[in-house]
């Protein structure tokens, strides 16, 4: 069999005590990890569901709404509150450009942030038409 153990009784008892201490430590660690996993699962089960829509609030006394987000949008700020679908569709100043709540709500014509300035395509020569190129329809 296994003859690599010490032959005397004193050293065999010492090894038994040492291994018992390690088994106790391992059992305690297993119990702690199982307790932590149970707490995590319990926390997930008790977590309230995400709201369908949130309104990001501004800074100040009245805290007016700034943007509307979908409930799962990670771009929403920390100052927010849950709203229902009707309030989300009716009371926002701007729609989030990340989660696009206006598209999800099927609401057309809402402002998406600051109104952009009209874009002008550059001329083929790479400069503005009024600088060095003739007016459209004229020959050089």
pLDDT tens-digit series, residues 95-128 = 888 888 877 777 765 554 444 434 343 444 554 5
**CB within 8 A of 113, min separation 6: which ones?**
94, 95, 97
Is 117:133 a contact under the CB 8 Å cutoff? no
| Joined tokens for residue 50 | 């995400």
Residue 91: which pLDDT band, with cuts at 50, 70 and 90?
Answer: low
For residues 41 and 64, which has the higher predicted lDDT (pLDDT)? 41
| Predicted local distance difference test score (pLDDT) of residue 118 | 40
Does the pTM exceed 0.85? Answer: no
Cα separation, 107 vs 90, in Å, equals 9
């Amino acid at each position: 069999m296994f003859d690599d153990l010490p032959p005397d009784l004193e050293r065999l008892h010492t090894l038994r005590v040492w291994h018992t201490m390690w088994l106790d430590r391992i059992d305690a660690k297993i119990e702690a990890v199982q307790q932590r996993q149970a707490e995590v699962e319990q926390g997930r089960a008790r977590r309230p569901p995400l709201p369908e829509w949130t309104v990001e609030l501004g800074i100040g006394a009245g805290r007016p709404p700034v943007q509307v987000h979908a409930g799962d949008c990670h771009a929403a700020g920390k100052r927010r509150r849950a709203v229902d679908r009707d309030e989300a569709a009716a009371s926002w100043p701007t729609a989030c450009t990340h989660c696009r709540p206006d598209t999800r709500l099927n609401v057309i014509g809402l402002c998406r942030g600051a109104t952009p300035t009209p874009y002008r395509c550059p001329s083929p020569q790479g400069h503005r038409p009024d600088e060095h190129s003739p007016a459209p329809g004229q020959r050089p």
